[in-house]
Structure 1
Amino acid sequence: MNKQNAPQKIYTCPMHFLVRHSLFILLYLFFLIFIFLTFKDYGISWDESFYLNSGKVYFENFFNPQEVSKLIPQYHLVTHGAFFDVLYYLILKIFNQTSSFEFLHLVKALFASITLIFIYASINILTRNRYVSLVGTLLFIFSPRWLGDIFDNHMDITATLLTSIIILLSLKIFSDKKSEIWGLPLYGLVSAIAFSHRVILIIFPALFIYLYIFKKFKKEELNSNYIGFILSFLVFIAALFLTDPYIRINGLLGIVEKAIYFTFFNKDITILFEGKFYPATNLPWYYFVKQILITSPLIIIFLTISGALFMIKKFINLGFIKTTSHIYLLMSLYIIFVLVYIFKPVTFDSWRHFLFLIVPMVLIAALGLNFIFQSRRIYLKLIFILLVVNSILVIKDVYGLYPYHYMYFNELIGGIKGAYKNYETEYWGKSYKEAILWLKENEIKETKLYKLATCSNPTQSAYYFADNMIHTKNLGEADYFICITKNNEHNKVGGEIVHTVIREGVPLNFIKKMD
C-alpha cells in the first residue's frame, strides 16, 4: 500500500500526539514568541479606533439593539458583525486596558495565530503528511499581506481565521462521517459568526452544503443525517440573532438585506492602479486578479497553480466521491473570483477585503508541494530548489519592510520600488507611529506647545504625542504637517521636509515643517 494513502494511526495517548506534531508545536511557540517580542512595534491602522469604540457600544447596549442603531452607522451595521468587536473590547476591559492600542494589538495577534493551527490541521487531512503540513504552515506565515496585518487589521484577519475554521470543519466532515455528530452544529455556529462578520464568507458553508448533499446522493445516503442539518440550521439562526444587532432589529429579513447591501455596496474613493487613479466603482476588470498576482509570493502562486492542476487530474482519475475535499477548495476559489467579476464589489487597499482567500490558496499550494515531494522527476526537484530561493527572498523582503509587511510586492513588478507611484503602498497609515517618535526625538522641545496636522485619522498620530503636542485641523496654525503617500496627499501641502519614513528606498510618510 502507498504510504501516503495508508490510514493514519490513531494516537490515543496525548504524548504520542505531541511527539508526532512536535515540529509544528515548536513552530507555533516560536510564532508566539515573535508576537510577544514585536507587538509594540506596530502602528495604528486608520479604522482601529472606530472598531474599538463600536465594541464598547455593542457591549454596553447588548440588550438594546435599537440604541446601537443610533450610535453605529447604518452601513457598518449591515456589512460588519459585532462578535469580534465585543470580544476584543471585553478582553481589554477585563485587563483594564481599554485605552491601550498596544494591548489590543497583542490580543488581535494572538487570535490570528490560532489560524496556523487550523491551516496545519487542514493540510494534514489533505496530505496525511505532517512535514508537508509544516511547510504549508510556513508558507502561510510568510504571506506578507497576512503577517503584516495580524496586529491591527480588525476585519480581514478575523475573516481569515473564520475561513480557516470553516474549511477545516468541511474537510473533517467530508473525510470522517463520525465527525458529523459534533461538526454540523459547530458548523452552524461558526457560519453564523462568519456571515455576520463578512457576508461573502457564506460562500464556504453554502458550497459545503451543496457538495455534502450531492455526495450523500451519489452514495445513496441522503436520509442519513437530516437531524444534524436541522440542528446546524437552528444553531445558525440562533447565533445570528445573538451576535448580530442588525438581525435582532430586522429579523430574518435582515439576512437578505445584508446580502443585498454587501453586493451593491458603494464607496466614493479613488484607487491608484498601474500608475493611474480610478474610481473604486470603475476599476479595470482584471484589478482583483492582478492585485493577488503581484502581492503574493511567487512560491505560493506557482504551488497553487500546480496544486490545482494536480487536483483536477486526480478528480478525472478518481471521480467526485474520492476528491470531494479537492473540489470544495477549487470551487470556493472559482466561485468567489466569478462573483467578484460579475458584481464588481468596491475593493480598496489592494485585495485585503478578500484576504481570507489566502487560506484555500495555501491549502491548494500544499497539495502542489506534496505532489512535488512525491514525484521522482528531476525537473520538479529543480523547481523546488528555485522555490526555496524565492522563499528566502520573501523573508528578506519581510525583514526589509518591517513592520510594514503588508506593503509587500513580488518580483513581477520589481518589489515595492516598482509599486511606488503605480500601486497603493502605505494605505493603512501605520507609519505615523514611526514619524511621531522621530519628531519627538529630534524636533520637539519641552518648552513649547506644538500643533500638528495630519492627512489621516488623528488617533493614528495623536496617540503617540507628548504632553506638549496637540492635533489641529487648521493647517494655517500647524507647526508640522505629517502625511502618508496615499493619494499623493503629502504633495498638497507645502513646507520643508525634515524627515521621511522610508523602507526599501521608498518613502511612506513625510514630516514637513510649516512656515
Structure 2
Amino acid sequence: MSLVSFDLGATPSSRLVRRSLPLARLASLAVFAAVAAFILLTFRDYGISNDEPVQHTYGQLLLAWYASGFTDDRAFHYINLYLYGGLFDLIAAGFAPYVPLPLYEWRHLLSAGFGFVGLIGTWRLATRLGGEGAGLVAVLLLAFTGMYGGAMFTHTKDVPFAAAMVWSLYFITALAGELPARPRWRIVLGLGVAVGCAFGLRVGGVFAVLYLALTIGAATALLRDGRLAWRLMPRLRVAGLVALTIMAATWPWSVLPPTNLFKAMGAFSHFSFDLKTLFNGQLLPIDQLPPTYMPEYLLIKLPEVTLLGLLAGLAVAVLALVTHLRAPGAKAGPFSRGRLAASMLTYLPLGLAILVPIGVAVLTDPPLYNGIRHFLFVLPPVTVLAALGLVGAWRALHRRARLAGASFALAALGLFLFNASVLWRLHPYEYVAYNQLVGGTAGAWGRFEGDYWSASLREAALALRHGVERETPPAHPYKVSVCAEDVQALAYLGPRFEAVEEWEDADFILSARDVGCDAAPGLPYATVSRMGLAFASVRDQRLRHMPVEVPVPDGDGDGPDLDAPSVSQNGGGSPPTGPQVAKAKP
C-alpha cells in the first residue's frame, strides 16, 4: 500500500478505476489537444512583459559570442543577465529571423510551448505516482492555475524553468522507483537533459541536484545499502556530463571559469536592489519582507480546488499510514518494511520538491518580489500532490459509500468550474488571479501584486491607436509617455506615435496600475479593466498643449474688449484668476 493511495483489491471501486483507465487516457489526450488549441488561438492576446526587451538582447549577445568565435563577450557583462542561463533567449533570438511572426508574439508562442512541455511532465509525474486519473486531474488543475496557465505566455524565464524542473523531478522519481537496481539508461539520459536545461535557464537548477542527493541518501538508509551511491555513481556521472554540456552551451559564462556558477549562487542569495513590492496592503522594500512572503503568496494564489486537493491528500496520507501501522505484521517482517521503504522513496522526491524551496525561502529570507514568480517551479509538484489527494480521497470515499464519493467529486468539480470562470473573465491577465482566502482577485486588488508585468499596456495601446484613427491626423506624430518600458506600448501603437520621457511633454500618458502611475494627469481616454478592476489607463493631455484664446470682457460688461490680450491655457505656470478663466470642453 502506498502512502497516498488505498489498496482497493477487487472492490467495485477498483473495477471502476480499471475500466476507466482507457477513458482517462483518452480524456488526457483531449485536454492536451484543447490546451494546444488555446495556445495557438490566444498567444497574440498577451502583452509584452517588462523584462522581455533586455532578455531578447541577452539572447542576441549570446549568439554574437558564438558568431564571433568566442571573442565578443558583451553577453558576459550585460546588466545582470549573465547570472541567468540563456537557453530560452538563445532559441528565441536564433529562430526569430526565420519565424513569420512579430518578435514578441514569437517569444510568447515559444514560452507557451515550454509551458506545454511542463504540462506533459506534470502529467507523466502524476500518472506514475497515482495512475491515469491522477495525471488527468493534475493537468487540468495546472492548466487552470492562473500563475501557470496564464503565465505561460509572458513569464519567459519562470515557466521554462518550471518545465525543466518538473521533468527533472519526474526522472528523479523514476530513478528512485528502480532502486536499489541501477536505473535504465533512458532515465539517466533524461535526467541529464532535464537538469542541464534547468541550469541553462537559472542557477536554481541546483535544487534538482539537491533532490537527487537527498533521495539517494534516504535510499541508502531505508534500504540499508551502504554501497548504493557507489554503484550508482558511473551512471550519475554520465547524467552529470550531459547536464554540464547543456549548461555550458546555453550559459557559457557559468563555466568561464567554472567558479562562476558559485558566484551566481552567491549573487542570488543576496540579490537586492532599490525596489518596493506590495504585500498585504503595505509597500515594502524587497529586503524588508517577512520570511513568510513566499508561502503566504503560494497559499493565496493557488486555486480553491487545488487547496481542497492538498487537504484531501494530507488526510489520505495520514489515514493510509495509520492503516499500514495497524495492519498485522506491519511492525515486523522484511516484506512489510521493504514495501514501506519503497513507498516512501517513491514519493520522497515530490515531497522534497515542495518542502525544500519553501523551507529555503522561509529560512534564508531572500529579497523577493512579484509574488511567487521566482518560485513558480513549485506549482507543478504542488499540483501533483493536490491531484493525488483528490483522486485518493474520491477512491476512499467511493469505496465506503458511492454517494459520499459522488458528493466529493461534485464539490471538486464545482470549485474547478468556479476557478475556470474567474480565469475566463480575467483573460488575458489570468496570472493576477487570487483565491477566496483574500476575497478573490477583487479582494487582493491594492493589497497584493497585480499586473506587475504591465502586460495590460498592449490593450491600452490598441485602444488609443483605434481611437485616434477616427480623428483627423495631426501634422506631427502623437507624443506618448509610457509609465513602463516604451516598447510595451510602442509595439502596438504604430508610426503615428512617438515616445517622450516627460509627462508634461506628452499628448497621451499610458500607465499600468501596478507600477505606481496612478497619479498620471490628463483626461480619461481609455481604461483596461476586468471584473470591475482597472488594470491600465490612457490619459489625454492634448488640451494642455492647445492654445485657447479667451476674450476678456471690458470694464463695463457690455461686450468684449477686442484689444485685450488673450490667455493661453497650456498647463504651465499658475492658472489665471477672475473672469479671464474659461472652461474648455473635453
Q: TM-score, normalised by structure 1?
A: 0.90
2:437 equivalent in structure 1: 412
2:564 equivalent in structure 1: none
Shift of 1:61: 1.2
Aligned length: 500
2:161 equivalent in structure 1: 159
Tell me the SS of whatever aligns to 1:500.
strand
Tell me the SS of whatever aligns to 1:153.
coil
Q: Label 1:110 to 1:18 Cα distance change in 2 as closer, same or farther (>3 A).
A: farther
Greater per-residue helix proportion:
1
Residues 54 and 85, structure 1, Cα contact 8 Å, conserved in 2 = yes
Inter-partner Cα distance in structure 2 for 1:184 and 1:263: 30
Residue identity opposite 1:245 in structure 2: P
Residue identity opposite 2:286 in structure 1: A
1:11 equivalent in structure 2: none
Q: Label 1:186 to 1:68 Cα distance change in 2 as closer, same or farther (>3 A).
A: farther
Inter-partner Cα distance in structure 2 for 1:121 and 1:231: 23
1:271 corresponds to which of 265, 277, 281: 277
2:253 equivalent in structure 1: 246
2:491 equivalent in structure 1: 463
* 1:337 matches 2:358: yes
Tell me the SS of whatever aligns to 2:485.
coil
Tell me the SS of whatever aligns to 1:265.
coil
Shift of 1:72: 4.4
Which is worse superposed, 469-478 or 299-308? 299-308
Q: Unpaired runs of 5+ in structure 2?
A: 11-20, 325-338, 545-586
Inter-partner Cα distance in structure 2 for 1:226 and 1:201: 20
Which is worse superposed, 317-326 or 405-414? 317-326
1:319 equivalent in structure 2: 340
Residues 180 and 228, structure 1, Cα contact 8 Å, conserved in 2 = no
Residue identity opposite 2:129 in structure 1: L
Residue identity opposite 2:539 in structure 1: K
2:54 corresponds to which of 47, 50, 53: 50
1:450 equivalent in structure 2: 478
Residues 77 and 246, structure 1, Cα contact 8 Å, conserved in 2 = yes
1:500 equivalent in structure 2: 527
Residues 76 and 82, structure 2, Cα contact 8 Å, conserved in 1 = no
Q: Label 1:310 to 1:195 Cα distance change in 2 as closer, same or farther (>3 A).
A: farther
1:168 equivalent in structure 2: 170
Residues 484 and 509, structure 1, Cα contact 8 Å, conserved in 2 = yes
1:413-428 matches, cutoff 5 A: 413-428=438-453
Inter-partner Cα distance in structure 2 for 1:314 and 1:198: 37
Residues 126 and 384, structure 2, Cα contact 8 Å, conserved in 1 = yes
Shift of 1:96: 5.5
Q: Label 1:229 to 1:466 Cα distance change in 2 as closer, same or farther (>3 A).
A: closer
Which is worse superposed, 35-44 or 67-76? 67-76
2:295 corresponds to which of 289, 294, 317: 289
1:222-261 matches, cutoff 5 A: 222=228, 223-249=230-256, 251-261=257-267
Which is worse superposed, 51-60 or 505-514? 51-60
1:172-251 matches, cutoff 5 A: 172-176=174-178, 177=181, 179-216=183-220, 218-220=223-225, 222=228, 223-249=230-256, 251=257
Tell me the SS of whatever aligns to 2:287.
coil
* 1:123 matches 2:126: yes
Residues 481 and 513, structure 1, Cα contact 8 Å, conserved in 2 = yes
Tell me the SS of whatever aligns to 1:49.
helix
Inter-partner Cα distance in structure 2 for 1:90 and 1:309: 49
Inter-partner Cα distance in structure 1 for 2:364 and 2:85: 22
- Per-residue CA deviations over 1:244-274 (Å, capped at 9, x if unaligned) read 121232x221121121111111121111111
Inter-partner Cα distance in structure 1 for 2:538 and 2:187: 54
Shift of 1:395: 0.7
Q: Identity percentage over the alignment?
A: 20
- Per-residue CA deviations over 1:82-122 (Å, capped at 9, x if unaligned) read 1111012223233265x522222222212321222111111
Shift of 1:149: 1.3
2:134 equivalent in structure 1: 132
Q: Label 1:103 to 1:84 Cα distance change in 2 as closer, same or farther (>3 A).
A: closer
- Per-residue CA deviations over 1:285-326 (Å, capped at 9, x if unaligned) read 322122111111011122123324534665674533322121
* 1:511 matches 2:531: no
Tell me the SS of whatever aligns to 1:67.
coil
Inter-partner Cα distance in structure 2 for 1:198 and 1:59: 18
Tell me the SS of whatever aligns to 1:266.
coil
Inter-partner Cα distance in structure 1 for 2:272 and 2:383: 30
Residue identity opposite 1:210 in structure 2: L
- Per-residue CA deviations over 1:204-239 (Å, capped at 9, x if unaligned) read 232223312431452536143321022222333333
Q: Label 1:311 to 1:20 Cα distance change in 2 as closer, same or farther (>3 A).
A: closer
Inter-partner Cα distance in structure 1 for 2:536 and 2:297: 23
Residues 218 and 345, structure 2, Cα contact 8 Å, conserved in 1 = no
1:77 corresponds to which of 69, 74, 82: 82
Tell me the SS of whatever aligns to 1:482.
strand
Inter-partner Cα distance in structure 1 for 2:9 and 2:85: 41
Q: Label 1:20 to 1:436 Cα distance change in 2 as closer, same or farther (>3 A).
A: closer
1:22 equivalent in structure 2: 26
Shift of 1:47: 1.0
Residues 278 and 449, structure 2, Cα contact 8 Å, conserved in 1 = yes
Inter-partner Cα distance in structure 2 for 1:213 and 1:228: 16
Shift of 1:38: 1.0
Tell me the SS of whatever aligns to 2:526.
strand
1:305 equivalent in structure 2: 311
Residues 398 and 405, structure 1, Cα contact 8 Å, conserved in 2 = yes
1:102-117 matches, cutoff 5 A: 102-117=105-120
Inter-partner Cα distance in structure 2 for 1:281 and 1:394: 33
2:389 equivalent in structure 1: 368
Residue identity opposite 1:67 in structure 2: D
Residues 163 and 356, structure 1, Cα contact 8 Å, conserved in 2 = yes
Q: Label 1:451 to 1:18 Cα distance change in 2 as closer, same or farther (>3 A).
A: farther
1:489 equivalent in structure 2: 517
1:41 equivalent in structure 2: 45
Residue identity opposite 2:361 in structure 1: V
Inter-partner Cα distance in structure 1 for 2:134 and 2:247: 37
Which is worse superposed, 205-214 or 376-385? 376-385
Tell me the SS of whatever aligns to 2:284.
strand
2:380 equivalent in structure 1: 359
2:461 equivalent in structure 1: 436
Residue identity opposite 1:373 in structure 2: W
Inter-partner Cα distance in structure 1 for 2:113 and 2:282: 38
* 1:402 matches 2:435: no
Shift of 1:460: 0.4
Residues 272 and 487, structure 1, Cα contact 8 Å, conserved in 2 = no
Tell me the SS of whatever aligns to 1:421.
coil
Inter-partner Cα distance in structure 2 for 1:179 and 1:36: 38
Q: Unpaired runs of 5+ in structure 1?
A: 7-16
Residue identity opposite 2:368 in structure 1: T
Residues 314 and 323, structure 1, Cα contact 8 Å, conserved in 2 = no
Shift of 1:174: 1.8
Shift of 1:495: 1.1
Could you say what the CA RMSD is over the residues aligned between the two structures, in angstroms?
A: 2.5
Residue identity opposite 1:489 in structure 2: C
Q: Which has the larger radius of gyration?
A: 2
Shift of 1:408: 0.3
